C-alpha cells in the first residue's frame, strides 16, 4: 500500500510539474514587413503590463501562457494580435496602415467597396472577437472593440443594451444604432414599460436584436458617418451595426465540414458591489417610534403572544431598519419565526438577540450560461451551404431565473447558370424567459429592499426554509405579530422569486431570398425579398398574499417587416478612369401591434393566472398599432481618376400612419 501511494504521489507531482511548464513558457519569433526585419516593435501581452520590443533583426522573446494574446504595434503599421497556442515560435508580418485601405468592406445594403473609396469611417470586428467569451447578448461583446462606440449593458439577465455611435445626437428621440444582417435591417425594438425605463418598477425584456446567435456571426462592421447610413433613411441617423453571417466553406471533394462548439460561463455575485451589513444593532428605529421600556436601547414590541397574560419582547415587525437595540446574546427575543403557527419548530420560541449568520448576500447563487452548437457546411464551384443549430441555457444569479434560446439557421447559394445565382438565408429563434429580475423601486425587486430596508437580525436561509416548508409568504415584515401577520412593506424574497415571477416567449423568423444575374463583366442586376417577423407574449403576476394587490398582466406583440430590393450594379474600368456604383429601388413595409391587459381589483382563485380570474370587471386593454410604408430610390456611385473623386447621393420617401389614434398621412 505504501509503494502504491508513493507511485501515485510521484505521478501527481510529475503532472503538476508538466502543467506548470505548460502554463508559462518562452515564446520567440520574428516581426517583419514587406521590406524585411522590423526593429522596435512593441510586443505586449494584452490586458497586462508585461511586454518587450523586437531587436535590430526583428527578433523578440517573451514569457507567455497558452491563451494569452500578444499585441504587436508599431507607428505607421496596423496592429496585429496573435493568440498563444501550443507553438513556441510566432512570426508576424505587419503591413502599413496605408495598405489597409486596399481591403474590401461591406457597406450599406450589403454592397462591397474598397475601404479607400469610402467617404466615411468604418471599422470591422471579426466573429472570433465576439465568440471568444460568449455572451447571450452578442451586442455586449462589442464593448471596447470599436472606437467611438459606447456599449452599456443593463446588468440584468437578458436585459437591454444601449449602443451609441459617436455620442448622443437627440435629447428626446432614440439614439440607438440600426442593426442590419446581410444588408437587411432588423427590428431592435425595446417594449419595456415607461415605469421600468424611469425606475418605478417592472422588468427589462431587452432589445430584439439580441435574438441573433453569436455563433452565426462572421464579422461586424460599424458604419459611423452620415454618408454611410443615408441609404437606410432616418432610422439609421445614429449609425449602423452591419452584421455578416457565416457561409459554407470548401472542405474538398464531396466533403462536408462539421463544427461542434460548447462553452460554459460561470457568473458569480461580487459582494464588493453590494451593501456591507453591520453586526451591532438589530431591528428598529431606536426609541423614535416605540419605547417598550425594555432592558436595552431600542424599541422592542411587547406582546402577549401565547395568551398567558405576560408581555414578551418581540422585534418591531413594521420597522424595516437596523437602528434598534444593541445585539446581546444573553437577551431572548421573540422574532419573526416565533409568530407563525405554520413553523412548528420555532413558533412561540424566543431566540438570542444576535446578528443573522446569513445576510442578504447569501440570497445570490452562482449563475451558469451554457452554449452548445453544431453546424454542417460545405462549398464547391456550384455553391455553398451552412446549416446550424445552437442551444443557449442561462441560469441567473437570482433564484428561479432562466433564459433558454434555440436557434436554427440556414445560409446557402447555388449557381444555376454561369450568370445566374440564387441564395437563401433563414433564421428561426425561440426564446423563453422565466424569472427575469425586477428593476427599480418596486416590490418585485427584492434587491431594492435589501439595499435600503432590512433588519440585520433576519437570517435569509431561514426565510428560504420558511417559504419552502409552507409555500406561504412568511415575512419578517408583518403588520402585527399577534393580530395581522400579512406583510406591511416587504414580502419574503423567496416568495417574490417563486410566486411573483414573470415569464415570456418570443418566436422569430427572418431571412431573405436573393437572385443575382451578371449581364456582362461589368454590369449585374440583383433582386431581393426579405422578411423579419416575430411574435411574443409576456406574463407578469402578483400572487394572493403579497404586499401589492394580486394581479395578472398579459402583453402580446407582433412585428412584421418586409423589404423588396432591385439593384443595378456596375463596375467599369478604362485606362485610368473607373466608374462603379449602384442604382436601385426599395419598397419597405412595417406592421407592428401590441395589446396589454390586466386583471382589476385582485384575483379570485389563488395561483390561477388568467384575465378571467379578475376580481372585478376588466378595464379596457391598452392597444397600439403602427404601419409604415416606405418607397425609396437610391443611387450610389464612385467616379475616380486614380480614385481621387467620390460622389454619393440618395433619396427616400417615407409614408407612415399611427392607428387607432389618427388616420393622418405624413410625408417627410
Note the pLDDT of residue 542: 97
Q: Report all structural domains of the chain as residue ranges with CATH numbers, in order of start.
A: 21-95 (2.60.40.10), 124-268+366-442+497-667 (no CATH), 280-354+454-489 (no CATH)
Contact 505, 432 (CB under 8 A): yes
User: Are 525 and 568 within 8 A, CB to CB?
Assistant: yes
Buried b (16+ CB within 10 A) or exposed e, 407-431: bebebbbebeeeeebebebbbebeb
pLDDT along the chain (668 residues), means of 10: 41 39 77 82 85 88 89 82 89 73 54 54 74 82 79 88 80 78 84 88 90 88 68 73 86 79 91 90 72 51 85 89 90 94 94 95 95 92 92 96 96 93 95 95 91 93 97 95 92 97 96 94 92 96 97 96 90 80 85 95 96 95 85 56 34 37 31
3-state helix, strand, coil in the chain (%, to 5): 15, 45, 40
Residue 665 pLDDT: 31
Helix/strand/coil for 15: helix
- Spatial CB neighbours of 157, under 8 Å, sequence gap ≥ 6: 367, 394, 396, 397, 398, 401, 403, 433, 436, 437
Confidence at residue 659, expressed as pLDDT on a 0 to 100 scale: 35
pLDDT score recorded for residue 547: 96
- 25-33 and 92-93 strand pairing: parallel
Q: Determine the Cα–Cα distance for residues 189 and 169; give it in Å rounded to an integer.
A: 19
Which residues make beta-bridge pairs with 582? Answer: 569, 636
CA pair distance 449, 432, nearest whole angstrom? 28
Give me the pLDDT at residue 227, please: 59
DSSP letter, residue 398? S
Task: In whole angstroms, give the CA distance from residue 536 to residue 556.
Answer: 6
Cα–Cα distance between 596 and 617 in angstroms, integer?
16
Amino acid at each position: 500500500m505504501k509503494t502504491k501511494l508513493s507511485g501515485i504521489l510521484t505521478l501527481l507531482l510529475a503532472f503538476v510539474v508538466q502543467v506548470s511548464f505548460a502554463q508559462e513558457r518562452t515564446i520567440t519569433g520574428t516581426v517583419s514587413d514587406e521590406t524585411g526585419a522590423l526593429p522596435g516593435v512593441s510586443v505586449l501581452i494584452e490586458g497586462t503590463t508585461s511586454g518587450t520590443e523586437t531587436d535590430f533583426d526583428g527578433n523578440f522573446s517573451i514569457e507567455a501562457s497558452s491563451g494569452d494574446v500578444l499585441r504587436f504595434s508599431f507607428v505607421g503599421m496596423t496592429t496585429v494580435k496573435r493568440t498563444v497556442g501550443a507553438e513556441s515560435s510566432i512570426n508576424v508580418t505587419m503591413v502599413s496602415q496605408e495598405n489597409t485601405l486596399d481591403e474590401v468592406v461591406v457597406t450599406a445594403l450589403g454592397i462591397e467597396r474598397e475601404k479607400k473609396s469610402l467617404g466615411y469611417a468604418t471599422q470591422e470586428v471579426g466573429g472570433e472577437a465576439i465568440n471568444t467569451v460568449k455572451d447571450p447578448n452578442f451586442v455586449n461583446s462589442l464593448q471596447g472593440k470599436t472606437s467611438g462606440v459606447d456599449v452599456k449593458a443593463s446588468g440584468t439577465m437578458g436585459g437591454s443594451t444601449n449602443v451609441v455611435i459617436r455620442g448622443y445626437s437627440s435629447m428626446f428621440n432614440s439614439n440607438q444604432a440600426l442593426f442590419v444582417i446581410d444588408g437587411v435591417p432588423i427590428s431592435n425594438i425595446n417594449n419595456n414599460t415607461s415605469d421600468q425605463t424611469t425606475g418605478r418598477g417592472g422588468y427589462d425584456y431587452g432589445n430584439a436584436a439580441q435574438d441573433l446567435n453569436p455563433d452565426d456571426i462572421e464579422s461586424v462592421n460599424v458604419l459611423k458617418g452620415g454618408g454611410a447610413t443615408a441609404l437606410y433613411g432616418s432610422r439609421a441617423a445614429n449609425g449602423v451595426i452591419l452584421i455578416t453571417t457565416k457561409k459554407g466553406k470548401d472542405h474538398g471533394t464531396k466533403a462536408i465540414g462539421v463544427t461542434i462548439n460548447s462553452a460554459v460561463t460561470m457568473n458569480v455575485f461580487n459582494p464588493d458591489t453590494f451593501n456591507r451589513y453591520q453586526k451591532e444593532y438589530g431591528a428598529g428605529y431606536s426609541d423614535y417610534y416605540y419605547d417598550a421600556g425594555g432592558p436595552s436601547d431600542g424599541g422592542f414590541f411587547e406582546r402577549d403572544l401565547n395568551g398567558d397574560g405576560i408581555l414578551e419582547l418581540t422585534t418591531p415587525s413594521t420597522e424595516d431598519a437596523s437602528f434598534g437595540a444593541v445585539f446581546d446574546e444573553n437577551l431572548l427575543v421573540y422574532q419573526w419565526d416565533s409568530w407563525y403557527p405554520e413553523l412548528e419548530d420555532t413558533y412561540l420560541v424566543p431566540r438570542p438577540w444576535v446578528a443573522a449568520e446569513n445576510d442578504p448576500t447569501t440570497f445570490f447563487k452562482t449563475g451558469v450560461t451554457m452554449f452548445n452548437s453544431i453546424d454542417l457546411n460545405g462549398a464547391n464551384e456550384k455553391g455553398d451551404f451552412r446549416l446550424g443549430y445552437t442551444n443557449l441555457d442561462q441560469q441567473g444569479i437570482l433564484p428561479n431565473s432562466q433564459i433558454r434560446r434555440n436557434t436554427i439557421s440556414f445560409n446557402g447559394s447555388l449557381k444555376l447558370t454561369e450568370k445566374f445565382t440564387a441564395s437563401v438565408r433563414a433564421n428561426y429563434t425561440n426564446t423563453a424567459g422565466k424569472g427575469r429580475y425586477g428593476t427599480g423601486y418596486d416590490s418585485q425587486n427584492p434587491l431594492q429592499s435589501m439595499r435600503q430596508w432590512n433588519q440585520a437580525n433576519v437570517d435569509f436561509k431561514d426565510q428560504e426554509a420558511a417559504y419552502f416548508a409552507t409555500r406561504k409568504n412568511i415575512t419578517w415584515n408583518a403588520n402585527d405579530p399577534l393580530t395581522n401577520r400579512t406583510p406591511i412593506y416587504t414580502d419574503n424574497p423567496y416568495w417574490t422569486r417563486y410566486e411573483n415571477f414573470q415569464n415570456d416567449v418570443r418566436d422569430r423568423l427572418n431571412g431573405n431570398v436573393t437572385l443575382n444575374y451578371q449581364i456582362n463583366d461589368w454590369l449585374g442586376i440583383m433582386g431581393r425579398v426579405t422578411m423579419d417577423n416575430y411574435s411574443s407574449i409576456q406574463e407578469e403576476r402578483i400572487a394572493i398574499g403579497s404586499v401589492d394587490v394580486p394581479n395578472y398582466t398579459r402583453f402580446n406583440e407582433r412585428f412584421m417587416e418586409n423589404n423588396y430590393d432591385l439593384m443595378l450594379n456596375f463596375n467599369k474600368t478604362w485606362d485610368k478612369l473607373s466608374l462603379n456604383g449602384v442604382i436601385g429601388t426599395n419598397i419597405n413595409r412595417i406592421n407592428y401591434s401590441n395589446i396589454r391587459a390586466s386583471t382589476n381589483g385582485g384575483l379570485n382563485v389563488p395561483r390561477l393566472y388568467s384575465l378571467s380570474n379578475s376580481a372585478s370587471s376588466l378595464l379596457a386593454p391598452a392597444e397600439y398599432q403602427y404601419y409604415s410604408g416606405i418607397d425609396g430610390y437610391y443611387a450610389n456611385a464612385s467616379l475616380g481618376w486614380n480614385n481621387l473623386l467620390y460622389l454619393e447621393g440618395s433619396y427616400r420617401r417615407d409614408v407612415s400612419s399611427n392607428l387607432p389614434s389618427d388616420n393622418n398621412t405624413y410625408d417627410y
